[in-house]
């Protein structure tokens, strides 16, 4: 514990040496541009690996950087980041060598976390064909790390928080990245959530208002309705005459 407190004092000194107003400025409030959703792994601290400063990045971390649609913790962070802080960019950041992903790829029990890891097993099932084609186990796990990030970005797009934000100006951009611990480099996976548009009839939580009819089409529809109406009237009149005639003959 002493180590932590000493480290803190040294850090405060170094901040103040650079800018005597540093902590005063930070205490005025936050306006972060980024939301970082990453793995809890101690080797992947969001601020350090992106060179961002305190105040620039709102952060949510869990094992294997999952975006689980029933996770109240993640949803609360997401809603606050999007609707109150109005972050411009959301980053889902995975990393090669992720213990959570490796555990999900094994058929072993790891205790409580097995339920959490089911979310990654679902990613394996979705992409099983592609994964089975990769014979080298390390390469297969690396690809699973990437596919997991991609699915978590798609999961963001499935939330009503992101869907609502996309009906307004300047919705946050969604990005999926993977961090290579062995070299320190972040790679952009260039995830395009538009491939989810194909399934908007399933995932959209917003019913699209019916497009207003073209005035000419509207006039044609009106005319058809009137014709049907007067046709009906004529038929009714004809039936009534027939009935009357029948009565008279009887």
Residues forming contacts to Co ion in the complex (CB under 5 A) are: 39, 41, 98, 100
Phi, psi of 71 (to 5 degrees): -80, 100
Is 43 considered catalytic here? Answer: yes
**CA 75 → CA 32, 51, 69, 85, 91, distances in Å?**
18, 26, 7, 14, 15
Return the number of the residue (32 or 100) whose C-beta is nearest Co ion: 100
Return the number of the residue (39 or 141) whose C-beta is nearest Co ion: 39
Is 41 considered catalytic here? Answer: yes
- Of 43, 110, 121, 166, the catalytic one is 43
Quick check: 91 and 36 in contact, CB under 8 A?
yes
Return the number of the residue (81 or 98) whose C-beta is nearest Co ion: 98
Q: How far is the CB of 53 from Co ion (least distance, A)?
A: 24
Is 214 considered catalytic here? Answer: no
Q: How far is the CB of 92 from Co ion (least distance, A)?
A: 12
Polymer length in residues for the chain: 250
Query: Quick check: helix, strand or coil at residue 191?
Result: coil
DSSP per residue, 12-27:
HHHHHHH-TTHHHHHT
Is 154 considered catalytic here? Answer: no
Is 98 considered catalytic here? Answer: yes
Return the number of the residue (98 or 161) whose C-beta is nearest Co ion: 98
Q: How many helices (H) and strands (E) does the chain have?
A: 11, 5
Q: How far is the CB of 39 from Co ion (least distance, A)?
A: 3
- Of 3, 9, 10, 41, the catalytic one is 41
* Enzyme catalytic residues: 39, 41, 43, 95, 98
């Amino acid at each position: 514990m002493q180590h932590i407190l000493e480290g803190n004092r040294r850090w405060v000194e170094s901040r103040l040496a650079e800018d005597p107003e540093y902590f005063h400025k930070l205490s005025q409030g936050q306006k972060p541009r980024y939301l970082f959703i990453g793995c809890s792994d101690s080797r992947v601290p969001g601020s350090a690996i992106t060179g961002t400063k305190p105040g620039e990045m709102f952060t949510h971390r869990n094992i294997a950087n999952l975006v689980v649609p029933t996770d109240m913790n993640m949803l609360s962070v997401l809603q606050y980041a999007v609707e109150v802080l109005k972050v411009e960019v959301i980053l889902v950041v995975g990393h090669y060598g992720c213990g959570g992903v490796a555990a999900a790829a094994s058929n072993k029990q790891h205790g409580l976390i097995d339920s959490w890891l089911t979310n990654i097993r679902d990613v394996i099932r979705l992409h099983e064909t592609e994964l089975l084609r990769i014979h080298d186990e390390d390469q297969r796990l690396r690809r699973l790390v990437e596919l997991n990030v991609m699915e978590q970005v798609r999961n963001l797009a499935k939330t009503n928080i992101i869907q609502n934000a996309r009906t307004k100006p300047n919705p946050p951009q969604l990005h999926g990245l993977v961090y290579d611990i062995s070299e320190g480099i972040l790679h952009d996976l260039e995830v395009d959530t538009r491939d989810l548009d194909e399934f908007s009839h399933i995932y959209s939580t917003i019913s699209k208002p019916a497009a207003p009819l073209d005035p000419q089409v509207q006039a044609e529809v009106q005319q058809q309705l009137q014709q049907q109406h007067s046709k009906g009237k004529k038929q009714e009149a004809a039936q009534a005459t027939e009935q009357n005639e029948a009565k008279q003959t009887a």
